[in-house]
Amino acid sequence: MKKLILFFILVSASITALAQKPTMKPFRLEGTILNSDTIKEVNISIFWEHTISSEKAKVINQKFVFEGGLEHPTLALISTNNIRQEFGVWLVNDTIQVDFEVKKREAGSLYLHTKKVSGSQESIDFTTQIAPRNAMQSKNFSDAQRKKMVYQSLEKYVNEHKGSYLSLQNLSNEISFGECDLSSLEDLFERLSEEVKLSDSGKYFKEKLAKYRKNTIGNRIPDLKIPNQTGDSVMLSSLIKGKTIISFWAS
């Protein structure tokens, strides 16, 4: 009991509060860096649709606390001046406990490894989804097999968590990864709750989807000015009439 009381006394001095809007709901992130006594301060970067907000917190006896407000669950990265977290933490309007370890890559750089997450099931889900997703990439699956497995995994989570912003984050990630066709991702998006679909993150997803759909292989690329061999600017359309292949190269 004395240790528990001491912990709360110590971390109370290290709490950093993020500015809150009236519509925001509070979150609390309690972190422990298990194998390092040298880290005295950490940064937290919270990712929104078009912006990143950053705050700092003191580390006392390997422990730190962040408190603030969220409009909705989102991704955050914990770091120091020379150590970055590998995957991030999924912040929710709740209390989340995370144990970190400092590890070294083969190249020699250090990173924060998330060893254990507790408190919020959605935050736990974010971490536990990473290993199976990476396994799909590392094992010798065909493209068709991998796409099928990725889609089945996404579909299962979306169907079970239609009101989850993590479901939306997973779909948004897959646009960039390119493992699922865009029509499938759009279909899964439509299964989400109206609150999620109509949120700023939902609107951003639709914009991102439209952008990638516009640049899908087989579509006509937008016209633009480029320099020709003599350095004069010409319209791309004037160079490719009747042609279907463009080769871009650099020295």
3-state secondary structure 149-189: HHHHHHHHHHHHCCCCHHHHHHHHHHHHHCCCCHHHHHHHH
pLDDT single digits (tens) 184-233: 999 999 999 999 999 999 999 999 999 888 755 555 556 667 777 777 77
pLDDT score, position 133: 83
Q: Name the residue ranges covered by the structural domains of the chain.
A: 2-119, 132-214
The model's pTM: 0.74
What number is the average pLDDT over the span 154-183?
92
Q: Give first-to-last CA distance, the chain, whole Å.
A: 66
Q: Which of 15-19, 53-57, 220-224 has the lowest mean pLDDT?
A: 15-19
pLDDT score, position 223: 64
- 2-119 maps to CATH 2.60.40.1120: yes
Q: What is the Cα–Cα distance from 104 to 193, expressed in whole angstroms?
A: 41
pLDDT single digits (tens) 73-110: 999 999 998 898 888 999 999 999 999 999 999 888 99
Q: What is the Cα–Cα distance from 57 to 231, expressed in whole angstroms?
A: 52
Number of helices followed by number of strands (H, E) in the chain: 9, 12
